[in-house]
Amino acid sequence: LLSQAALGCRAAQVLMQYCILANHYWFLVEAVYLYKLLIGAVFSEKNYYRLYLYLGWGTPVVFVVPWMAAKYLKENADCVCPCTVSPSQINLLIFMRILKVILAKLRANQKGYADYKLRLAKATLTLIPLFGIHEVVFIFATDEQTTGVLRYIKVFFTLFLNSFQGFLVAVLYCFANKEVKSEMKKKWQLWKLDH
C-alpha cells in the first residue's frame, strides 16, 4: 500500500505530465488556428472552438492515462511520455508553411515595403514562442543523452524559453498590439471619467 506522500508525489507527477502535454497541444491549437486564418478562412466560416478545446485539453488525456497505467504496473523510472514529439513536429511543419505564406505575401507587396526580409524575420521571431518551436531544438537530446556543456546549454535554453514564453506571447500579441492598446486606452479613459 502506498503512503500518502508517495501517492501525492505520483499524482503530482501525473498532473505535471498532463500539463506539459496540454501546453504542447495548445501550441498545436494556436498553430492550426493561425494557419486556418491565413489559408483556410476563405473556404470555411465554420467555428472550430469546441474542436480546439478537445484538442488542447482532451488529447493529453489520451496519452497520459496509458502512461499512468504503464507507470503504475511497471514502475519504469525512465518512462517518458513520447507524445511531446508529435505536436512539436506538427507545429514545425505548420510554422514552415505559414512562413512560406508570409514570405509570398511580403514579396507580392514588396513595392510598398523595401524591408520585407526584416518584416519576415520579425514575423518569424514572433511566431517562435507562440508555436513553441523552441521545443524542437532539443527534442532528440534527452536528459539521459546530454552530458557536460551540452546539458548545461539545454537546461539553460529550456528553462529560459519555457519560463518567459507566456510573457513573450503576452507582450508580442497583447501589449504590443495596436488594437489591444487602443482598447486599453479607451477603458482607462472611461475609468478616469467614472472616478
**Residue pLDDT, tens place only, 94-137:** 888 888 887 787 777 766 555 666 666 777 777 777 777 767 77
* Cell, residue 25: 497541444
For the cut 60, the answer to whether the pLDDT of residue 11 exceeds it is yes
For the cut 90, the answer to whether the pLDDT of residue 57 exceeds it is yes
Q: Centre a 10 Å sphere on the Cβ of residue 157 and count the other Cβ atoms it contains.
A: 13
pLDDT at 5: 79
For the cut 80, the answer to whether the pLDDT of residue 43 exceeds it is no
Average pLDDT of every residue of the chain: 77
* Best mean pLDDT range from 17-26, 44-53, 136-145, 164-173: 17-26
- Domain coordinates in residue numbering, the chain: 1-111, 132-194
* Best mean pLDDT range from 70-84, 107-121, 128-142, 176-190: 176-190
**Residue in the structure block whose three cell numbers are 475609468:** 191
Question: How many whole angstroms separate alpha carbon 77 and alpha carbon 71?
Answer: 8
Q: Report the run of H or E that residue 148 belongs to, with start and end.
A: helix 148-170
Residues in Cβ contact with 157 at an 8 Å cutoff, skipping those fewer than 6 apart = 134, 137, 138
Q: Which CATH superfamily is domain 1-111 in?
A: Rhodopsin 7-helix transmembrane proteins (1.20.1070.10)
User: Taking the complete model, does pTM exceed 0.85, yes or no?
Assistant: no
**Residue in the structure block whose three cell numbers are 497541444:** 25
